[in-house]
Amino acid sequence: MSEMPDYTRNVSLRLSKVLDEIGVNEKIVIKRRRQGLMKESIRTIGHKLIIHEDVNLYLLGSRIEGTTTLGLNSDVDILFKRPMYSVIQDWTEWEPGKQNLLMIQDDTISPGYCLLQILRCDAPLPEVNVFDQYSHRDRLGRVLLNNAIANIVKHAEHVRHGPAQSMDGRPGFLSHDLVSAMSCQQWPLQARQWIAQQGEDMGCFVVGVGGKGSENEELEWRISTSLAERYLMFNLNITQIRCYVLMKMILKSFINTQCPDSISSFMCKTVMLHCISSTDNNAWNENTLLICLNYCLTILYNCVLNDNCPHFIIPENNLMARRFTPLTKQVILDTLSYIISSNGSALLEIECDQLGFRIQNTFLRLVEIVPEAMSCKISGEIERAELILKNIEESYDHNVVEPICCCYDFRQPKRKRAFDKLCYEADNEYALLQSITASCVMFLRCEINCCPKELQYEMFRSTQPDLPYKSFNDECMNLAVVDSLPYLYFLQFKTYSHLRRNRDKQAAISNLAKCIVEEPNFGHKETALNLLGQCMEQ
C-alpha cells in the first residue's frame, strides 16, 4: 500500500468524500442501525400485544445494516418467526405440546437446505399420518412438511417472490418483503466449522423455498443464517460498507439493466465477506477504496466465470448453481471486465444518487483549490482584486446601466428612462453604449478551469435525450453564462470570504439578492439564483 499510485489514492479519497456526502458515513450508518433496532423492538412488542403469541420480528437487509442510499431505494426485509413450530436436530431437543420438526440433511438434499420431518406432539416419535396437502410421505415412509405452507399469501396486495411475500410501496410507504420462518436453536452441521472459528452461535432459521432444480424442491427448506450475517455487517468499517454500496450501485446501473435477476445483492455481500476474511482489516481504508472495490469485482468475476459463489457461512451452498445461461454469463463477464479495466472511470456513468455527477464535481472543486492556494502565496493580489471590483461597482449606475443579453430571443420588459434619454441625446451612441450597457459574462467549455466552481455546474444542464433537439440558440445550455451585475456581487462575496471580512461579505450577498429581485431585464436570472443559493449554502 505504501507504493500505491497517486491516481488510485486520489480517486479513492474522492470516492470516499462523495459517498460521505450521499450519506454513507459512520454517523448515518449508526443512526440507521439504531432506528432499525428500535423499530424491530416496537413491532415485536406490538404483535405480541395484538395476537397474544410469542412472536418475534427481525428487520434484516440493507436498511438496518446502513448499507443503502436513497437512490438504491432498498426494500424493507422483515423476518417473521412462527412460534408454533420448533425445528430440532436431535431427539433430545423434542418438547411436549409443540409442533416439533426434525431437520434432515443427507446427500440427496441440496447443500444449505434441509427436509423437515413432522413429529408427534405427545411423544418423541415420528408422525405416521398425512393430515393435509402440506404434509407428504416420502419413499422412506417419513411424513415431511411441504414448503408450500409458507407460500400462503395472506394479503391480496402481497406477491410471492422466493420465500418472501412482497408488497410494492404505496405513496408514503416503502416496499417490503415479509418472510415467514421457523427457528432452530442449533446450527446445522454444515455451518459448525464457521461457528467454531467465530465463537458465536445465534441460532438459525428455515424458510420455505427449495433448491432451484432440485428433485426435492417442494419439500426442501432453505437454512437462513440472517442474524449471523447481520452481526457480521454490523462489524464492518466504513470503507467496507462503502465498497459494498458501490458494488450494489454497479449491480443496479450496469448488470441488472442488461440481465435482470441474475446477480443479487446477497451475492455481492457474500463476495465482499470472503474478500474481507482473506485480507488484513487495515487494508480497508479511504485511501484504498478503489483497490478494494476492484478486488471485490475481480473475485465476483471469478465466481461468475466458474459458476461458483460459496455461501460465506455454509460453503457447500453454491449461490450461483444453475444460475446463468451461457449468454447471460458472457454479458456479465464482459460488463465486469469493462468496469475493472476502467480503473474507476466507469463509475462516472452511474446515475444512482448522481454518483458520476458528484465525482466529476468533486474534481472540479479540487481544481478550484489550486488558484485559491496560489493566491494565498502571492502577498496583496486578493486586495488588488477587491479594489478592481469596487471600482467596477462604483461605475455601475443602477439608474442608467442596462443589462444586455443576446444568448437567445430575450425581450426586455422595459428599459430605464435615463438610458433611453442618454441614447437619444448622444452624438456618438456607440461610444456611449460601452459605458451604459452591461453584457452577460460567458465561459466556454474549454475555459472550465477559469470558471468559478459555482458556475461550472451550468455547463452540464443538457441531458442526453435533449441533444437531438438542440438548435443553434440552445448552445448556451452547454456554457456558463451569467449577467454582469450578479456576477460582480458574487465575486465580491468570494473575495470578502477569502479575506474573512464577514460584514462586507454579508453586504455582497444582500446586494446579490436585491438586484435579482429589482432588475427585470436580466437574461439569466436562474443562473443568478443558482449563485445566490450556493452563496447562502456556504
15 Cβ contact list (under 8 Å, min separation 6): 242, 246, 289, 290, 344, 347, 359
- For residues 537 and 533, give the distance between their C-alpha atoms in angstroms, rounded to a whole number: 6
- Any idea where the domains of the chain sit in the sequence? 6-24+236-352, 42-66+75-231, 378-537
Under a CB-based contact definition with an 8 Å cutoff, are residues 239 and 12 in contact?
Answer: no
Of 416 and 233, which is predicted with more confidence? 233
Architecture (CATH level 2) of domain 6-24+236-352? Orthogonal Bundle (1.10)
Strand partners, 115: 104
Examine the pLDDT at 465 and tell me if it is beyond 70. Answer: no
CATH number of the 42-66+75-231 domain: 3.30.460
One fold for both 6-24+236-352 and 42-66+75-231? Answer: no
The DSSP-derived string for 339-404 is HHHTTTGGGGG--GGGHHHHHHHHHHHHHHHHHHHHHHHSTTHHHHHHHHHHHHHHH--TTT-EEE
pLDDT above 60 (res 8): yes
Contact 200, 228 (CB under 8 A): yes
pTM above 0.75, yes or no: no
Q: How confident is the model at residue 346 (pLDDT cuts 50, 70, 90)?
A: very high
Phi, psi of 117 (to 5 degrees): -90, 130
Q: Which helix (H) or strand (E) holds 528?
A: helix 525-537
Q: Does the pLDDT value for residue 154 go beyond 60?
A: no
Give the list of residues 6+ apart from residue 137 with CB closer than 8 angstroms, or none: 130, 143, 144
Average pLDDT over residues 445-455: 82
DSSP for residue 458: G
Residues 6 or more apart in contact with residue 361 via CB below 8 angstroms: 453, 456, 457
Report CA Rg, the chain.
Answer: 32
Distances (CA, A) of 431 to 395, 404, 406, 416, 420: 15, 16, 19, 19, 15
C-alpha cell at 83: 412460534
Q: How confident is the model at residue 326 (pLDDT cuts 50, 70, 90)?
A: very high
Q: Cα–Cα distance between 395 and 457 in angstroms, integer?
A: 30
Instruction: Name 147's Cβ contacts closer than 8 Å, sequence gap at least 6.
Output: 208, 209, 210, 218, 219, 220, 221
Sign of CA dihedral 60, 61, 63, 66: positive
**pLDDT for the residue numbered 392:** 86
pLDDT of residue 20: 94
pLDDT tens, residue by residue, 349-380: 999 999 998 888 765 554 444 444 334 444 76
Higher pLDDT, 445 or 36: 36
What's the gap between Cα 88 and its chain centre? 40
- Is the Cβ–Cβ distance between 297 and 250 less than 8 Å? yes
Helix, strand, coil tally for the chain in percent (to 5):
50, 15, 35
The pLDDT of residue 447 is: 81
Mean per-residue pLDDT, 225-236: 93
Beta bridge partners of 223: 206
pLDDT digits (tens, 9 = 90+) for 409-445: 666 667 777 877 877 777 766 667 777 888 888 888 7
Residue found under cell 455546474: 457
Please give the residue that has the higher pLDDT: either 80 or 262: 262
